[in-house]
């Protein structure tokens, strides 16, 4: 039996062997990608002042403070203060039982009366019965000194003055205005060995903070400092008052600044954020949102005629919300261009873009 022969029309065979030219270039996916336009926001950047910030963290301390202590063993009979209370200079704070020392002082005064009577007798004997001890102008100084020394007048007078000075220790008054802190004293108990309490004058504060030694040449006495307590978002401002001319083993330099605290919002020992502010003129500044990373390099995009044009950059300075920008080599970039500040995360060089609102 002869094999069968199947004839296929040449037109059909040609059609089945022919593929569409450039099918990948005309696919719907590629057409959509080519037609995609990203909406962006832009900012015209010019040269101007840049607020340089050297950031650190520090601790706040009251400028003035005093520890109130007592070495007495008697109990506290009166207590007029509590922790956190504000007191004025000279204000009565507490009293300690002075009954014993008061009795001792009275005994000394009685002894002094006996001495005075003995002194008067000796003066009358020396000067005659017509002499009155109340007429001190008639008593020769050398005679008075000799008689008073014989009866022990000077010694007893000194004892009384010493005892009167000791009695002042039983009445505690504020040596300065401030706030009571760290109270350890209790009513009807003897004063403790440690300080009874501390008076903190926190109307003026100091903040101590470290900076890296590489910043040593960038700060100076009088530089403005912004202080923000970790417990709040409110900013306070002060000035650098001291720079320790010594680098620690960790490569840090201790700096101190002073600031006012009229409303008492800051308290002794608070942790805070610190920013030393320096004004650098003539810098090209962009918002931090304008910077994106490409292959571990810093990039910003310019807007030009509906396209995103990228520029590799360096950021020699930064603060809370901005960068100073230069070329990667450190050269200045031109001012007066529109920098893309949003919608830039997925842009490529010469991506099609449209500005918001257009």
| pTM exceeding the 0.75 threshold for the entire prediction | no
User: Residue 126 and residue 18: Cα distance in Å, rounded?
Assistant: 153
**For residue 126, what is the enclosing H or E element?**
helix 99-127
In this predicted structure, what is the pLDDT of residue 12?
A: 41
Going 233 to 238 to 241 to 246, the CA torsion angle's sign is positive
In this predicted structure, what is the pLDDT of residue 5?
A: 43
Contact 64, 274 (CB under 8 A): no
In this predicted structure, what is the pLDDT of residue 121?
A: 87
The residues spanned by each domain of the chain are 38-50+282-355, 98-170
In this predicted structure, what is the pLDDT of residue 139?
A: 78
pLDDT in tens, 251-266: 999 999 999 999 999 9
User: Residue 49 and residue 319: Cα distance in Å, rounded?
Assistant: 12
Reduced to 3 states, what is the DSSP secondary structure of residue 216?
helix
In this predicted structure, what is the pLDDT of residue 133?
A: 58
User: Residue 189 and residue 176: Cα distance in Å, rounded?
Assistant: 25
Contacts of 143 (CB under 8 A, 6+ apart): 123, 126, 127
Topology of 38-50+282-355 in CATH? 2.40.420
Q: Residues of the chain whose pLDDT is less than 50?
A: 1-27, 29-33
What is residue 158's DSSP assignment? H
């Amino acid at each position: 039996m002869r094999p069968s022969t199947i004839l296929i029309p040449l037109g059909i065979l040609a059609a089945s062997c022919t593929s569409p030219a450039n099918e990948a270039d005309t696919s719907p996916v590629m057409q959509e990608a080519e037609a995609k336009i990203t909406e962006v926001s832009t900012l015209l950047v010019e040269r101007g002042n840049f607020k340089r910030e050297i950031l650190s963290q520090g601790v706040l301390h009251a400028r003035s403070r005093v520890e109130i202590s007592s070495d007495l063993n008697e109990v506290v009979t009166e207590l007029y203060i509590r922790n956190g209370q504000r007191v004025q200079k000279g204000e009565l704070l507490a009293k300690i039982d002075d009954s014993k020392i008061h009795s001792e002082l009275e005994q000394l005064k009685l002894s002094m009366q006996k001495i005075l009577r003995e002194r008067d007798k000796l003066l009358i004997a020396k000067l005659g019965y017509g002499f009155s001890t109340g007429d001190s102008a008639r008593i020769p100084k050398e005679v008075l000194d000799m008689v008073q020394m014989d009866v022990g007048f000077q010694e007893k007078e000194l004892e009384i003055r010493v005892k009167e000075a000791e009695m002042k220790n039983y009445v505690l008054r504020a040596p300065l205005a401030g706030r009571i802190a760290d109270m350890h004293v209790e009513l009807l108990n003897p004063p403790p060995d440690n300080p009874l309490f501390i008076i903190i004058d926190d109307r003026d504060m100091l903040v101590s903070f470290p900076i890296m030694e590489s910043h040593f040449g960038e700060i100076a006495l009088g530089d403005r400092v912004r202080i923000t307590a970790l417990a709040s978002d409110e900013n306070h401002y002060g000035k650098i008052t001291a720079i320790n001319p010594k680098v620690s083993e960790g490569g840090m330099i201790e700096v101190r600044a002073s600031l006012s605290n009229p409303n008492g919002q800051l308290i002794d020992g608070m942790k805070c954020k610190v920013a030393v502010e320096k004004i650098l003129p003539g810098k090209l500044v962009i918002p931090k949102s304008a910077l994106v990373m490409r292959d571990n390099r810093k990039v910003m995009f310019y807007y030009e005629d509906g396209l995103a044009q990228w520029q590799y950059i360096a950021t020699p300075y930064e603060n809370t919300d901005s960068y100073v920008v230069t070329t990667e080599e450190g050269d200045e970039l031109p001012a007066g261009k529109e920098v893309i500040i949003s919608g830039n995360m997925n842009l490529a060089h010469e991506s099609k873009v449209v500005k918001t609102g257009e």
